[in-house]
Amino acid sequence: MSGEQVFRLPDLGEGLTEAEVVQWHVAAGDTVTVDQVVVEVETAKAMVEVPVPYAGTVSMLHAEAGSVVAVGAPLISVAAEASGAAEQYRTEERAGSGNVLIGYGTGHAPASRRRARRGRPAQVAGAGPVAGAGPVVGAGPVAPQVISPLVRKLAREHGVDLATVVPGAAHGVIRRQDVEQAIAAARPVAAAEPVAGIERIPLRGVRRAVADKLSRSRSEIPDATTWVDVDATGLIEAKNALAGRGVSLLALLARICVAGLRRFPELNSTVDVAAGEILRLPYVNLGFAAQTDRGLMVPVVQGAHLMSTAELGAEVSRLAGLARRGTLPPAAMTGGTFTLNNYGVFGVDGSNAIINHPEAGILGIGRIVDKPWVVGGQLAVRKVTQLSLSFDHRVCDGGAAGGFLRYVADCVEQPATLLADL
C-alpha cells in the first residue's frame, strides 16, 4: 500500500498525556527510513527520542519546536510505501497497547543535546498542523480521543463546563489551550499590569510535574514534622574511615534510614484511600532528592533493603550521575517507598519537607557545622546537624515517628549501633 502516512505522538507510558517538541532532526523533503529518530521531545519526566515507523519522504511537520503536543496528535507526515513495521505500529495504536515505542529504538536523549529555547511562547499542538501548513492527507479513521485528565482538572478548578468548550483541534479533541481560552473569555477584562518587566515562565516539563506532585501531597496527606539536633562527629569519622571504599556520607545516611525503616515499618507504608487501607510494604525502595539543571528529581534505589552500605553508595552515585546528565529514565523515579533529603548541601539547617506522594515519610538532614556540645559533662566543639522527619499521620502516631527519628539520631551519633541490626 502506498500513500501519505501520518505518524502521531505515541503513548510514552507512565500516564503521560503530552510532550514538548524540543528539536526536529528532519525537515520537509528529507528522506527517512523505518526506525529513524526524527524528533526529540521532553515529557514531564525525561527527554525521549522518537523514531518514525515509516520510510519515505517527509511531506509535513505538524508541530514546531517549543510546542506542546498531545498524545495521539499528528507529529509528521511521510509519503511512503507502508512497511510491515508501519502496519504493526497502526495495529498497536488502534489497540491502545501503551507499547507503541517498544521496538522502534526509543532512547533518552542526553541533556547536552537539548536545543536552547528561543524565548517564544510555547504553542499547544493538538490534532492540527502548524500555522501555514496544508491539511492532513490520508490520516484515515481516528478512534475517539479521550480528554486528558489534566484538561479535566484545569476545567474543574476554573469552573469551566467542558460541554460548552469549542474544540480547536480536528476530531473534536478538547485541548488545554481550548480550556484556557474559555477561562480567558470568562475573565473580566483587567487593566494593564502596573509593574513593567514581569517575566512569565511557563510551568511545564519537570517543573510542572514537581508542582503537581507536591500540590497533591499537601492536599491529600495530613503530615506532621518532628526534628532533633544530633552530634554527627561519629558519622563524619565513619565516613572518613570508609572513604577508600567509595562510601559517601549520603550512602551512610541511606543505610541508617533503611535500618530505621526495618525497626519502624509503619513509615514504610502507603495509604489506599479507595480501599480504606494502610499498605505496609515488605521492601524498601529508597528515594533521594537530587538537584539538577532540570530541577528537583528524586531517583529511587530499588531494593535498598537488600544492599550493603557499599552497594547503596554505588547505586546512589550512579543514579545521581544520570540525573545530573539528564539521562535518568522515568522508571528510575517511580516506586519509591520513603525519601531521604540532604538539604544541608544548600547551607541550611532545617526544613519542613513535603512528603513525596504516595509515600508516608521523608527524612531531612541539615548542614553539618561546628557547634558547642556537652560531652561527658564537658563543653566541646562537635560536628552538629539537625534531622527532621515529616510523616503521614494516617499511618502512625508520634510514638512511631519519634522512635524512628531517635533511632536514626542514635546511629548518626554512634554508627556502631548499626551493627546490632546486621
Which is the catalytic residue, given 108, 171, 357, 393?
A: 393
Lowest mean pLDDT among 17-26, 54-63, 69-78, 98-107: 98-107
Range of the domain at 390: 206-421
Q: What pLDDT does 173 receive?
A: 60
Q: What pLDDT does 19 receive?
A: 87
Band (pLDDT 50/70/90 cuts) for residue 81 is low
Res 35 pLDDT > 50: yes
Q: Which residues pair with 381 in a beta bridge?
A: 372
Nearest CA to 396 out of 230, 255, 221, 275 is that of 221
Backbone φ and ψ of 15, nearest 5°: 75, 15
Is residue 173 within 8 A of residue 145, CB to CB? The reply is: yes
Is residue 169 within 8 A of residue 127, CB to CB? The reply is: yes
Residue 201 lies in a domain: no
Residue 197 lies in a domain: no
Lowest mean pLDDT among 32-46, 170-184, 256-270: 170-184
Residues 71 and 13: their CA atoms lie apart, in Å, by 10
Q: Which of 41-55, 89-103, 361-375 has the highest mean pLDDT?
A: 361-375
pLDDT (mean) for 371-379: 95
Please tell me whether residues 176 and 296 are part of one structural domain. no
Q: What distance lies between CA 102 and its chain's CA centroid?
A: 21
Please tell me whether residues 263 and 315 are part of one structural domain. yes
Instruction: Give the length of the chain.
Output: 422
Domain stop point among 186, 214, 242: 186
Please tell me whether residues 182 and 216 are part of one structural domain. no
Please tell me whether residues 237 and 382 are part of one structural domain. yes
Residue 323 lies in a domain: yes
Please tell me whether residues 91 and 112 are part of one structural domain. yes
Secondary structure string (H, E, C) spanning the chain: CEEEEEEECCCCCCCCCEEEEEEECCCCCCEECCCEEEEEEECCCCEEEEEECCEEEEEEECCCCCCEEECCCEEEEEEEECCHHHHHHHHHHHHCCCCCCCCCCCECCCHHHCCCCCCCCCCEECCCCCCCCCCCCCCCCCCCCCCCHHHHHHHHHCCCCHHHCCCCCHHHCCCHHHHHHHHHHHCCCCCCCCCCCCCCCCCCHHHHHHHHHHHHHHHHCCEEEEEEEEECHHHHHHHHHCHHHCCCHHHHHHHHHHHHHHHCHHHCEEEECCCCEEEECCCCCEEECEEECCEEECCEECCHHHCCHHHHHHHHHHHHHHHHHCCCCHHHHCCCCEEEECHHHHCCCCCCCCCCCCCCEEEEECCCEEEEEEECCEEEEEEEEEEEEEEECCCCCHHHHHHHHHHHHHHHHCHHHHHHHC
Q: What pLDDT does 189 receive?
A: 54
Residues 357 and 35: their CA atoms lie apart, in Å, by 37
Res 277 pLDDT > 50: yes
Q: What pLDDT does 209 receive?
A: 80
Please tell me whether residues 79 and 114 are part of one structural domain. yes
Lowest mean pLDDT among 71-80, 82-91, 208-217, 330-339: 82-91
Res 205 pLDDT > 70: yes
How many domains is the chain built from? 3
CA 160 to each of CA 77, 154, 187: distance values in angstroms, whole numbers, following the listed order: 34, 8, 11
Res 149 pLDDT > 70: no
CA 421 to each of CA 18, 202, 208, 373: distance values in angstroms, whole numbers, following the listed order: 46, 48, 41, 28
Is residue 319 within 8 A of residue 327, CB to CB? The reply is: no
Residues 283 and 269: their CA atoms lie apart, in Å, by 10
CATH number of the domain bearing residue 412:
3.30.559.10
Is residue 285 within 8 A of residue 300, CB to CB? The reply is: yes
HSE at residue 147, side-chain half, CA atoms within 13 A, is: 19
Is the pTM above the cut of 0.95? no
The yes-or-no answer on residue 393 being catalytic is: yes
Q: Mean pLDDT, the chain, as a whole number?
A: 81
Q: Which three cell numbers stand for residue 147?
A: 480528554
Tell me the percentage of the chain whose pLDDT exceeds 90: 50
Please tell me whether residues 216 and 102 are part of one structural domain. no
Please tell me whether residues 47 and 123 are part of one structural domain. yes
Residue 193 lies in a domain: no
CATH number of the domain bearing residue 172:
4.10.320.10
Is residue 37 within 8 A of residue 88, CB to CB? The reply is: no
Q: Is the dihedral of CA 407, 412, 414, 415 positive or negative?
A: positive
Residue 348 lies in a domain: yes
Q: What pLDDT does 30 receive?
A: 93
> Hey, what's the torsion of the CAs at 117, 121, 127, 130, to 10 degrees?
-80
Lowest mean pLDDT among 205-209, 313-317, 374-378: 205-209
pLDDT (mean) for 390-404: 96
pLDDT (mean) for 346-354: 92
Residues 391 and 329: their CA atoms lie apart, in Å, by 28
CATH number of the domain bearing residue 11:
2.40.50.100
Q: 522502534: which residue's cell?
A: 104
Q: Which of 72-81, 83-92, 318-327, 405-414 has the highest mean pLDDT?
A: 405-414
